[in-house]
A and B are shown apart, each in its own frame.
Chain A
Amino acid sequence: MKLLFRGGVVAGALFAALAAQADEEANLVINGDIEITVRTDAPEHVAQLGTIYSGWVFRSDETQSLQMDDFENPGMIFVDDAIDAWNTVDGTAGNSCAACHGEPESLAGVRAVYPKWNDEAEEVRTIAMQVNGCRTERMGAEAWKYDGKEMINMEALIASVSRGMPVDVAIDGPAQSMWELGREIYYTRFGQLDLSCANCHEDNYGNNIRSDHLSQGQINGFPTYRLKNAQLNGVQSRFRGCIRDTRGETYGVGVEELIALELYVASRGNGLSVEGPSVRN
């Protein structure tokens, strides 16, 4: 917290232009009911952070409030779309999601533990990979495009039923090698600006780059409705955007490097609540 304060006080004293600082002490309760942990002790594997913070903490009062009521959260419109898709039969097996899973609420807790090792497939799978596993293997349906509209909407629905539950991604056992790859990527500098994830989101969270207020880059809120592009955004698309912004050659969504990075970054938020679909700027 000290770091956050220092940035805020110096900037505020010198430049009134930065007056739209976030209320970093605010607490998030959704619909007056779902309590969200937006700050908590860092898990042991990122002890250097001391405290971990949801990206919600770093946003303006106006943006923060949009996430406190589902009728104001634009991301929830897409959750409704996904409920329709959930109940729609698709593919040669004549199944819908509902045919096997019943109500979406039956998947409460799933988002909290993904990405996760899949024994049968012998790979770490993101939610998107698992959804496509269901579609192609159980439903006989076409795979959805990674981070495409249908997929992101479904991810938002799956996240929404876990809201308030603590992120608890496993980093050991068979997932360990992918987790280590993700950690390596997190600390690797990319592009002509020569920036790693850590340069901004570990060393400088709470500080500003021009008008961008740097968060810890936590992903417990994904998929995220961004006011900037007025749509739901997938986490790997966000990673792509960050690497692009280093003047770097980015990766495609769904490749091993970004799956590994998603696993690693998710684990840095172990203990925060699932928030998706969240609202950010």
Chain B
Amino acid sequence: MKRIITASAFTVAATLAFAEDVAPDNVVFSEYGEVEASLSGQAGDPAAGLQIMVSRGKGNCIACHQVTALQEYPFHGDVGPILDGVGGYRTAEELRGILANPKMTFEGTIMPAFYRTSGFNRPGNAFTGKAAEGELAPLLTAQEIEDVVAYLQTLQD
């Protein structure tokens, strides 16, 4: 019983914490794939964004992108473009849209959508290989998307 109460208390807390979030299915993309406003209603934290960029269990952005400023973290992939200076030539709105669902900006891209929960073929329960149960969670939360946007904006030439 204790466990159930804890779980429900957590759910309530989580609901409150994310009350301001734009739900993944409600994100509005511009014609060119930009997302205008913060998904969490809050500003992003670039330091938290850096951790998300390099963490395998989070964004793991360096799995595919090279970032010279993150050289101390080993093994950068080269599937996607180098992100050096990206904060100088992409706006926050563009970056937010690309992170949330890059297919809205680059049709046919290999890049996964980090804030999308529907429209997948055979979605799984994380990396178990089993079918997903219930609603999918987005790969990153609304605030985590904002944190990564904030970090990327620090990447200036």
Query: Interface residues, chain A, CB within 8 Å of chain B?
Result: 7, 10-11, 14-15, 17-18, 188-195, 199-200, 203-204, 207-212, 214, 240, 243-250
Measured CB to CB, the residues of B under 8 A from A are 56, 60, 62-64, 66, 68, 71, 74-79, 103, 110, 112-113, 120-132, 136, 139
Given contacts A195-B112, A209-B64, A210-B63, contact A249 B79 (CB under 8 A): no
Say yes or no: A243 contacts B75, CB within 8 Å.
no
Q: Is the CB of B76 within 8 A of A15?
A: yes
Write the chain B residue with the least CB distance to A15: B76
Alpha-carbon separation in the docked complex, A247 to B125 (Å): 7
Residue of A7, A14, A18, A244 touching B68 (CB-CB under 8 A): A14
B86 to chain A, nearest CB (A): 16
Taking A190-B121, A190-B122, A192-B123 as known contacts, 10 extra A-B pairs with beta carbons closer than 8 A to each other, sorted by chain A number, are A17-B74, A191-B122, A207-B77, A208-B77, A212-B77, A244-B127, A247-B126, A248-B123, A249-B130, A250-B129
CB contacts (< 8 Å) of B126 on chain A: these are 247
Nearest-CB distance from A121 to chain B (Å)?
28
CA distance A192 to B128 in the complex (A): 12
B62, closest chain A residue (CB): A210
- Nearest neighbor of A199 in chain B, beta-carbon distance: B110
Contacts of A204 in B (CB 8 A): 79, 110
Which of chain B's residues have a CB closer than 8 A to the CB of A211?
74-75
Q: Are A194 and B131 in contact (CB under 8 A)?
A: no
In the bound assembly, the distance between CA atoms of A211 and B123 in angstroms comes to 25
How many Å from the CB of A3 to the closest CB on chain B? 11
| Residue of A190, A192, A195, A208 with most chain B CB atoms under a 10 A cut-off | A192
